[in-house]
């Protein structure tokens, strides 16, 4: 838009308001004013600096429409015109949501406003435009060119306007509910019943046997990737800063991106990317800009989950400093977490890679379902291990596993190596969370940077507690009531320390780490392949 006007900054204020219909697509541009940034990528719009009268605004508007009269087409009703297209729109959306979760209550909440009572304005106008454009292009028929196995996926994505995540989801035939918990294509077999160590050992037997841990003491992945990781947090903060003109929103979103975190997820993502590039390109370990963006997106999703977790859990400390909910209110923080996720979606969209976008949509779906599972305990004692491992995969391991899978897809490796990368990440992710659950009992608040026994205080029964139940059945009613009665937390903490729960959890960590090592050893030998092996050593050292 090439607007020349003078007077009050009316238009600027309209676009500036955060409550307007229009959401500006913003990116930092060198040598541009903040005004230019409000109007989107590459916009030639020149902001009206002065516009002191309505007459000036009217002169501006006159050039847009002149004195055209509004034409009326009373005989055409868009809703009648699109009756067949809109008839099952709500039902199709509800089916997509139902296929994406095994939690009836989560599905009920998500579908609450999708009962067919809405105006369906957004899908109506989207389909209307699609038909008009298709007719315009083909000049023959006005049928939509959407063929997605019978489902109107694009319309459904647009219709879910009030959900946090835009689910790009499709039902999978002939999959069990357990398989669906662990992501598309995952060979993971859920533990149906795990009431004894013998059961656990039978489950773990197929993973690695009795491999000994090899040492690569000369390799430190963080040192190896020093140049790649040096500006990772700064780059993420810049992406957030460029996407908003609200200093307070930016401050909240960037609070945990101060460089004090371990940067574990970007580290392992870049490490896998370099190992795979070396594997494919006979020694070339350079990572592409797209692979580096995957590492950034992984950390941003993790950070958004921390912000939301602190709101849900009412945490008061994280990483040795006050948590976000101590400094800001819940309404602000919910928006801050959403904002981080919105910026990640922009980064992914710029990749223009459908498979990578789909992979990350699976991560977000898993993350929400894992958080939802954490709100509830398993119904029976036999279901607890299945519930725990499923929740752990969804909340923690899925992000790591699928980030590595995305890096593999971008590396151009074959499907076997893509699956290997995913399985390596899944095992590391599960081990990572098991270590965290163990340290909640045996470490100090100074070391962890957060209170100890926080899981018990939140009503969560993690692996050490579940193993301890086998020796001390009195823990069962405590788990059922989520440690809410006076003395429950203290007594449970004591019983876990008296049990073999720590040793059994360490055993489980070791098995997952050994399996990760076995998978990494199948890649071409390189410093980065060895670095993937060393990552498992890091996890094992944390529990010694």
Write out pLDDT tens, residues 183-238.
333 333 333 334 345 545 444 444 444 344 445 556 899 999 999 999 999 999 99
**pLDDT greater than 90 at residue 249:** yes
Element (H, E) at 318: strand 317-318
**Within the chain, what is the greatest distance between any pair of CA atoms?**
85
pLDDT reported for residue 314: 81
322 DSSP β-pair partners: 317
| Residue 153 structure tokens | 């996926």
Query: CA–CA separation, 119 vs 116, rounded Å?
Result: 8
pLDDT reported for residue 532: 97
Domain residue extents for the chain: 10-65, 78-163, 197-542
Query: CA–CA separation, 72 vs 511, rounded Å?
Result: 71
pLDDT reported for residue 536: 92
Placement of tokens 């045996």 in the chain: 442
pLDDT reported for residue 180: 31
321 DSSP β-pair partners: 318
**pLDDT greater than 60 at residue 321:** yes
Interior/surface letters 240-264, b for 16+ CB within 10 angstroms, e for the rest: bbbbbbeeebbebbbbbbeeebebb
Would you give the distance in Å from CA 303 to the centre of its chain? 9
The pLDDT > 90 percentage for the chain reads 49
pLDDT reported for residue 208: 42
Weakest-pLDDT range from 246-260, 304-318, 375-389, 492-506? 375-389
Q: What is the SS3 assignment for 321?
A: strand
Between the alpha carbon of residue 419 and those of residues 169, 360, 512, 541, the distances in Å are 20, 16, 16, 27
Query: CA–CA separation, 81 vs 333, rounded Å?
Result: 43
Confidence grade of residue 378 (pLDDT, cut at 50, 70, 90): low
- What's the CATH superfamily of 197-542? Farnesyl Diphosphate Synthase (1.10.600.10)
Placement of tokens 């899981």 in the chain: 455
pLDDT in tens, 115-132: 888 888 999 889 989 888
pLDDT reported for residue 375: 86
Burial (CB count within 10 angstroms: exposed 0-12, middle 13-18, buried 19+), residue 19: exposed
CB 57 within 8 Å of CB 34: no
Between the alpha carbon of residue 284 and those of residues 71, 141, 274, 275, 279, the distances in Å are 63, 50, 8, 9, 8
| Residue 282 structure tokens | 């006979």
CB 30 within 8 Å of CB 36: no
Backbone angles phi, psi at 428, to 5 degrees: -65, -40
Query: CA–CA separation, 170 vs 431, rounded Å?
Result: 30
CB 267 within 8 Å of CB 403: no
CB 430 within 8 Å of CB 396: yes
Query: CA–CA separation, 281 vs 76, rounded Å?
Result: 60
pLDDT in tens, 385-434: 999 999 999 999 999 999 999 999 999 999 999 999 999 999 999 999 99
Placement of tokens 């899908």 in the chain: 123
Element (H, E) at 373: helix 354-374
| Residue 365 structure tokens | 């779906």
Q: Output the average pLDDT for the chain.
A: 77
Least Cα distance to 455 among 392, 538, 532 occurs for 392
pLDDT reported for residue 250: 96
Beta-carbon neighbour count of residue 444 at 10 Å?
A: 8
| Residue 152 structure tokens | 């109107």
**pLDDT greater than 50 at residue 346:** yes
Confidence grade of residue 72 (pLDDT, cut at 50, 70, 90): low
């Amino acid at each position: 838009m090439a607007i020349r006007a003078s007077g009050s900054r009316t238009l600027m204020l309209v676009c500036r308001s955060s409550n307007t219909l229009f959401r500006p697509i913003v990116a930092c541009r060198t040598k541009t004013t903040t005004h230019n940034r409000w109007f989107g990528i590459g916009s030639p719009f020149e902001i009206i600096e002065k516009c002191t009268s309505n007459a000036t605004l009217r002169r501006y508007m006159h050039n847009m429409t002149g004195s055209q009269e509004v034409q009326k087409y009373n005989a055409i009703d868009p809703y009648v015109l699109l009756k067949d297209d809109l008839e099952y729109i709500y039902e199709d959306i509800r089916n997509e949501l139902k296929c994406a979760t095994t939690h009836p209550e989560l599905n009920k909440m998500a579908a609450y406003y999708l009962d067919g009572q809405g105006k369906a304005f957004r899908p109506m106008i989207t389909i209307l435009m699609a038909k008009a454009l298709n007719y315009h292009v083909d000049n023959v028929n006005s049928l939509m060119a959407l063929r997605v196995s019978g489902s109107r996926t694009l319309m459904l994505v647009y219709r879910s306007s009030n959900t946090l995540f835009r689910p790009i989801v499709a039902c999978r035939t002939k999959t069990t509910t357990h398989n669906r918990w662990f992501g598309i294509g995952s060979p993971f077999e859920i533990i149906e019943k795990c009431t004894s160590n013998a059961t656990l050992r039978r489950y773990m037997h197929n993973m690695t046997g009795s491999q000994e841990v090899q040492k690569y003491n000369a390799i430190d992945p963080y040192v190896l990737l020093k140049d790649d990781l040096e500006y990772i947090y700064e780059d993420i903060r810049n992406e957030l800063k460029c996407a908003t003109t609200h200093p307070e929103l930016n401050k909240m979103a960037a609070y945990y991106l101060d460089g004090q975190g371990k940067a574990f997820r970007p580290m392992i993502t870049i490490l896998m990317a370099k190992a795979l590039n070396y594997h494919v390109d006979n020694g070339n370990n350079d990572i592409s800009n797209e692979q580096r963006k995957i590492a950034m997106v992984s950390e941003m999703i993790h950070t958004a989950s921390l912000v939301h977790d602190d709101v849900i859990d009412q945490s008061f400390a994280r990483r040795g400093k006050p948590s976000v909910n101590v400094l800001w209110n819940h309404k602000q923080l919910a928006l801050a977490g959403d904002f981080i996720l919105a910026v990640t979606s922009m980064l992914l969209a710029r990749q223009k890679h459908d498979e990578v976008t789909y992979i990350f949509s699976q991560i977000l779906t898993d993350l929400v379902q894992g958080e939802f599972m954490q709100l509830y305990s398993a119904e029976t004692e036999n279901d607890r291990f299945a519930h725990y491992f499923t929740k752990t995969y969804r909340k923690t391991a899925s992000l790591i596993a699928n980030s590595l899978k995305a890096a593999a897809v971008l590396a151009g490796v074959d499907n076997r190596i893509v699956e290997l990368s995913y399985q390596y990440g899944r095992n590391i992710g599960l081990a990572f969370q098991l270590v965290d659950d163990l340290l909640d009992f045996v470490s100090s608040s100074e070391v962890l940077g957060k209170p100890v026994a926080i899981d018990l205080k939140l009503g969560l029964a993690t692996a050490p507690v579940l193993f301890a139940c086998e020796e001390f059945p009195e823990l069962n009613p405590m788990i059922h009531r989520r440690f809410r009665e006076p003395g429950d937390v203290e007594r449970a903490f004591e019983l876990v320390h008296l049990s073999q729960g720590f040793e059994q959890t360490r055993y489980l960590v070791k098995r997952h780490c050994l399996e990760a090592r076995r998978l990494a050893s199948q890649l071409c030998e390189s410093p980065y392949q060895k670095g993937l092996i060393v990552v498992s050593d890091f996890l094992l050292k944390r529990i010694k």
